[in-house]
Amino acid sequence: MLKNKVVYIHSEELISHCNKLPQLPNRASIVQDLINSYELLTHDNLVVVQCEKATEEQLKSFHSTDYIDFLKSLNCDDVELFEIVEKHEEYGLGYDCPLVENIYDFVQTVAGSSVAAARLLAAKKCEIVINWFGGWHHAQRASAEGFCYVNDIVIAIQILSKAFDRILYLDLDIHHGNGVENAFQCSKKILTLSFHKCSPGFYPGTGSLNEVGLGKGKYYSINVPLKEGVSDETYLAAFNAIFPIVLDSFKPSLIVVQCGADGLNGDPIGQCNLTIKSLGRCVDTVLKSQLPALFLGGGGYNFANTARLWTYLTALIIGKDIDPDVPDRSEYFSIYGPTFELQIEKGQRRDCNDEKYLSNVVGAIGDYCGFISKHMSSKFPRIVNSKLTKPP
């Protein structure tokens, strides 16, 4: 039933839990409504799979026992019953990750969605899975961070690593995927590749070019730090130069892609120039690798544009052409004004990513990939020259 189909992870409980986050109120419903309005879930090439809650054991496969036990102790309908104390801050429950009702149920449900995706892929029941309500890449082993209370990505990758020899984690969110990188920075089996904005004061303040992993995992953490105002042209130039050499040197057997929408023009936090077309080109390149893949959500604080992106990517992944005009049957039709179109305009911020800067970044990463090739096998050629070319 699932073979040769794209699997879409969904449950009403998952939507409900994601809706209640103070930073993302009702975003999940807005995303799901637009996908439903385009009738993508009824496409012949897609199968919807319901997810269940992650078990305590699955949560603790990455997160510390103390952290998970603490979340369990806070699991109730009325968060006002709890006073904010020092211990809350110790576990990252404060300004950017405030207490939410039934917090333990929330992390179980979110993690469970990516666990379901990973188990299907690990069992070779399908080759492509979409879970737009996963992708919480900042959460650390013993604390919440950056709007992320649980790192479903790390938990999913750990499941996948039992079935796949080498996993490439590709992070397209405009924020550095620090939680995932930290989890695997000593591993040669998981390579993390993050394209993100890196500028003074921009969260999380990590992900520089010289952060390359530790110990046996040295050079298996690859960061592409982008300056202010990144545009479609420079983003794609960097991606088209770097992704192929990483693919060729590491030779992954599966790709996990975090498709954060906060780099899009109009995002109040990301404040960049990207459109959904550039991120779509990146996803299309991943699909053309013909490797099994898990596509996840992530950041996105302009909810209309986040819905646009993940709807567009869903259609791209299942191979369906969709109308450029947003269907007027959408419950949230008014938020897509004034254009009421799926595409968005590119931003006009000055792009500080000049060719010299990007060439230096690409050259350094080419050298890192040369070391990976050498470590992986003597039969893999070392990459000597990496060229930066503008997309056609």
Q: Which residue has the tokens 């207490």?
A: 99
Q: Strand, helix or coil at 224?
A: strand
Q: Which residue has the tokens 């012949």?
A: 44
Q: Specify whether the CB–CB gap between 221 and 198 falls below 8 A.
A: no
Supply 345's token pair.
Answer: 């305009």
Backbone angles phi, psi at 6, to 5 degrees: -85, 130
293-to-189, 261, 290, 366 alpha-carbon distances in Å: 16, 18, 9, 24
If one counts every other C-beta atom within 10 angstroms of the C-beta of residue 30, the result is: 21
**One of 17, 138, 176, 196 is an active-site residue; which one?**
138
Cα separation of 40 and 147, whole Å?
29
Catalytic-residue membership of 138: yes
Q: Specify whether the CB–CB gap between 306 and 132 falls below 8 A.
A: no
Listed in sequence order, the DSSP H helices in the chain are: 12-19, 27-37, 56-59, 65-73, 86-90, 103-122, 152-160, 178-184, 232-250, 276-288, 303-318, 355-376
Cα separation of 154 and 349, whole Å?
34
Put the strands of the sheet holding 6-10 in their side by side order. Answer: 46-50, 6-10, 128-131, 293-296, 254-258, 167-171, 190-197, 221-226
Please, what is the angle between helix 103-122 and helix 12-19, to 10°? 130
Cα separation of 312 and 34, whole Å?
10
Q: Which residues are catalytic?
A: 138
